Amino acid sequence: MTGLSAPRTHLAERAVAAMGPLRGVDSLTPDTLAPDTLAPAGLSSQAPRREGPRNAEAFAEGPVAPPPAISMEELRAAGLAFEPEAEARTRLAEELALIQTQVLRAIPAPDAARNATTCRQLVMITSAVPEEGKSFIAVNLAASLAAGTGQPVLLVDVDGDVTQRLDLANAPGLRALAQDPTKTVSLLLRTTAIAGLSVLPHGLRTPGQAAPSGAALAAALRAVAVALPRHVVVLDMPAALSSSDAPAMAAMVGQVLLVVRAETTPRDAVEAALDVLEACPVLQLVLNQSRMSSDDSFGNSTASADG
C-alpha cells in the first residue's frame, strides 16, 4: 500500500500548487459561496468564476417604485365630472353612455381595419376652435369607457391642457416618445384611481426644444397603438383650425369626434374643420353645453356637459 500513497500525495501537492490551499467547509460562508464555486472535475483552474454578493448592501436599492396613481381629486381638477360609482344615473352619465356606444360601434374588428396605415382604436377628440370643451369631453369619455365597459382605456394629452391641470408638466410623456418612438410606452403611462384608465402626459418641454412635428407625433401615436392593441386610446388634440396636428393625424386615426359648443361655434368654422379632417371617413359631431328641456333630457339631474 505504500506504493499507492506516494502518487496520491503527489497529486494533492500539485492541486495545492495550482489552486492554493483547500478551504474546509467551515470557512465557506453564504457571501463567498456562489452556485458555480464547486466546479466539475477536469475544468481548468483558469476559468472565470462568478462570485455571489458580498453583503446585503448589494440589494439595498431594489427596483424603482412606480409613480403614484392619479387620484380622483386630481382627475376632477382636470375636468372630470363623471362619477364612476354614483348610484343615480345622471344626465351626464347617460349622454356619455350614448357617445361611448357610438365610439365602440365605430371601432372595427382587428381583421376589418381599413388599411395598414390606420390605427383603428385611436379616437381623436378635437374641436373647430379653442374653448369648445374638447378636453372636458376627452377626460369624461375616457373615464366613462373605462368604468362602463371594463376595457382598458388610455387618455393621451396631445394638447397639453390636461397635463397642466394634473400637475404633470414635468413628467415624461408623449414628447419623449415623439423624440424616440422605440421608448417603452408602458414606462411613460400614469395609472389613475379609475380602474382600467391610464394617462399619457404631454411631456416635459425642455428649453430650446422645438415642438414635435406632425410626422414625429404620428410615429409616437402609432407606437402607442402597437404597444397597447387592446386599449381604446382617446386623443385630446388641439383645435383643428388652430393647429396642424389634428388634420395631420386624421388619416391615421380610427375616428374623429368634433366637439361643437351649442349656440357658440360659428357654422363656417364647423364646416372648415370638417373639411380639414375629411381624411378620416368616420366623423362624428358632439354637441356640448346644449340647453334641453326636462322632457328631452336623460336622468334625474339637471347637470349638463359643461366643458
Q: Read off the pLDDT of residues 143-184 as tens digits, 9 standing for 90 and up.
A: 999 999 889 999 999 999 999 999 999 999 999 999 998 999
* Alpha helix positions (H), 150-259: 161-165, 174-179, 214-227, 245-249
On whether the CB atoms of residues 103 and 144 are closer than 8 A, the answer is no
Q: For the full predicted model, state whether its pTM sits above 0.85.
A: no
Read off the pLDDT of residues 187-244 as tens digits, 9 standing for 90 and up: 999 999 999 999 999 998 777 778 888 889 999 999 999 999 999 999 999 999 999 9
Q: Rounded to an integer, what is the distance from CA 49 to the centroid of its chain? A: 42
Chain centroid, CA 98 distance in Å:
25
CB 153, CB 32: distance < 8 Å: no
Question: Measured between alpha carbons, how far is 257 from 102 in angstroms, rounded to an integer?
Answer: 10
What pLDDT digit, counting tens, does each position of 30-51 carry?
343 333 333 344 434 344 444 4
Residues in contact with 278: Cβ distance below 8 Å, sequence separation at least 6, in sequence order: 250
